[in-house]
Amino acid sequence: MEQKLIHSKGQVCVTGASGYFASWLVKRLLSSGYQVVGTVRDPGNTKKVEHLWRLEGAKERLRLVRADLMQPGSFDDAVMGCHGVFHTASPVLDTTHSKAETLEPAIEGTLNVLRSCKKNPSLRRVVLTSSSSTVRGREDYDPKVPFDESSWSSVELCERLKLWYALAKTLAEKAAWDFCNENGIDLVTVLPSLIIGPSLSPDLCYTAISVLGLLKGETEQFQSLGRIGYVHIDDAALCHILVFENKDAQGRYLCSSTVLENYELVSLLSSRYPSYPIPKRFEASNRPFYDFNTSKVEKLGIKFKSVEEMFDDYIASLLEQRHLSLA
């Protein structure tokens, strides 16, 4: 599909660059020829950033700078001169964090990044990493009609069920839209489902640890997810780049390959990887059926990888990094 590009190459900023998804986005951007400014809490922390310096093109086209989501003006230097800003830094999906610990950095951190973006005369577009949890947290919907980008999660429902991650992502995205509309900033948001794929960092994120536990026969963390969508990490990165480069892209973009019940996933995984003690079955969740309509992002030219490819690539990286042994 022919695309109208904002520019062929240029300088872009990726916030939270050492994170699970952000690292892969940096990898994708470098391989596409972009100059990348990555923000991290401590550029001198070798353990946290060395995987970024190993990326192809990093020595020539990557610069890491210090920034803190909760410090106003902290992103001024990082975004200045960049044509695009990919704001990925946000609280992770972690049930151990309180409401305040999850909401404050998500909402205020996003606004701090956008306030810095407002000062940058070179800025052409901001791409915000939101979440499919901003769409599916509802009770008033028809299960026969897939969710699309017009849907928003219910703040009241998230509060009642203490879904702090979904609430933080929903309020942060809404705050971003309000700020950008008021200040004339071109914003596009990407709403990935659960991202699965290779981890470039040896430090696994909460999601990766949960899936690793599943491969080892643990069920507690994964059982709570119920019915959920999955997307390959490379597809999620590509979606971000597509919506940045396509001049006509606007609004929100759901990014998901497949929606499965837990019992469907473990059935698939246990048959595909029989040597691992993957639980043979989960009880069906009591959550209503839903699916996603991803036709909007598919029109930009992406073809999503399968669940099998996601987990094959993820397991290969776990083996390589010795988080998992050959059974």
Within-domain flag for 89:
yes
Tokens of 242: 């597509």
Residue 310 lies in a domain: no
On whether residue 64 sits in a domain, the answer given is yes
Of 216, 224, 195, 211, the closest CA to residue 282 belongs to 224
pLDDT for 179 beyond 80: yes
Cα separation, 223 vs 319, in Å, equals: 24
| pLDDT (0 to 100) of residue 262 | 87
Taking only the tens place, the pLDDT of each residue in 201-259 is 988 888 888 888 888 888 776 766 778 999 999 999 999 999 999 999 999 999 999 99
Domain CATH code at residue 55: 3.40.50.720
pTM for this structure? 0.93
Grouping H, G, I as helix, E, B as strand and the rest as coil, residue 245 is: helix
Helix (H, G, I), strand (E, B) or coil at 172: helix
Residue 123: φ, ψ to 5°: -65, 130
CB of 214 within 8 A of CB of 269? yes
Domain range holding 88?
A: 11-195+231-256+290-304
Of 57-71, 190-204, 238-252, 270-284, least confident by mean pLDDT is: 270-284
Give which of 127, 101, 168 is closest to 255, Cα–Cα: 127
- Give me the pLDDT at residue 275, please: 92
Give the C-alpha separation, 228 to 195, whole Å: 11
Per-residue pLDDT, 9:
84
The two beta strands, 187-192 and 251-255, are parallel
pLDDT of residue 219: 75
pLDDT band at 91 (very low <50, low <70, confident <90, very high): low
Domain count, the chain: 1
Q: Answer yes or no: is 263 within a domain.
A: no
